[in-house]
């Protein structure tokens, strides 16, 4: 009986730790540089979002075809249902306000309308307080300015936006 109790506690503890983790990954220094083995393959960009609905980083410069990881870190305190952040990188020609308006009714797809999904280059899931989520993608091969935004209602309008500059 005691062995069953210990086994249950171990499984419960492991499950609780797993549920609390949005995405397991090897630790990445907060200076925006990947650790040594990964550095040759890709660069990590940390974008922090807080309850003020602003990104700490509003521009990213990258080379055409470069492989990058964007990690969205939420440092707010308001519950996720009311305040969550993501990073969605869009094609250069996207009308951002039209994109957001079309997605307003699609909470189940992170406020991205299925008909507009083809405008998305890369996106993270939503992150709530204390969570970190990420996306790894290849930067477009064509130089230009690609908007990135938070699709949670009202966040873009409050200033949660930036530009991926490919050159």
Q: pLDDT per residue over 85-122, tens digit each?
A: 999 999 999 999 999 999 999 999 999 999 999 999 99
Give Cα separations from 18 to 23, 27, 97 (angstroms).
9, 16, 37
Name beta bridge partners: 88: 123, 149
Contacts of 122 (CB under 8 A, 6+ apart): 70, 88, 89, 135, 137
Order of strands, edge to edge, in the sheet holding 88-90? 59-62, 161-166, 144-149, 88-90, 120-123
CA distance linking residue 21 with residue 114, whole number of Å: 28
Continuous H helices in 31-78: 36-39
CA distance linking residue 138 with residue 66, whole number of Å: 6
- CATH class of the 28-166 domain in this structure: mainly beta
pLDDT band at 66 (very low <50, low <70, confident <90, very high): very high
CA distance linking residue 21 with residue 68, whole number of Å: 22
The percentage of residues in the chain with a pLDDT greater than 70, rounded to a whole number, is 76
Residue 28 clears pLDDT 80, i.e. is over it = no
């Amino acid at each position: 009986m005691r062995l069953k109790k210990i086994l249950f506690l171990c499984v419960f503890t492991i499950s609780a730790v797993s549920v609390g983790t949005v995405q397991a990954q090897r630790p990445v220094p907060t200076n925006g540089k990947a650790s040594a083995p990964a550095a040759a393959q890709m660069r990590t960009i940390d974008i922090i979002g807080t309850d003020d609905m602003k990104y700490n980083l509003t521009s990213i410069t990258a080379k055409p075809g470069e492989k990058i990881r964007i990690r969205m870190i939420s440092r707010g305190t308001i519950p996720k249902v009311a305040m969550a952040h993501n990073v969605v990188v869009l094609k250069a020609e996207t009308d951002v306000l039209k994109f957001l308006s079309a997605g307003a009714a699609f909470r189940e797809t992170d406020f991205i309308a299925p008909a507009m999904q083809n405008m998305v280059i890369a996106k993270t899931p939503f992150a709530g307080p204390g969570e970190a989520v990420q996306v790894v993608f290849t930067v477009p091969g064509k130089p230009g300015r690609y908007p990135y935004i938070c699709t949670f209602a009202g966040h873009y309008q409050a200033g949660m936006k930036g530009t991926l500059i490919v050159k």
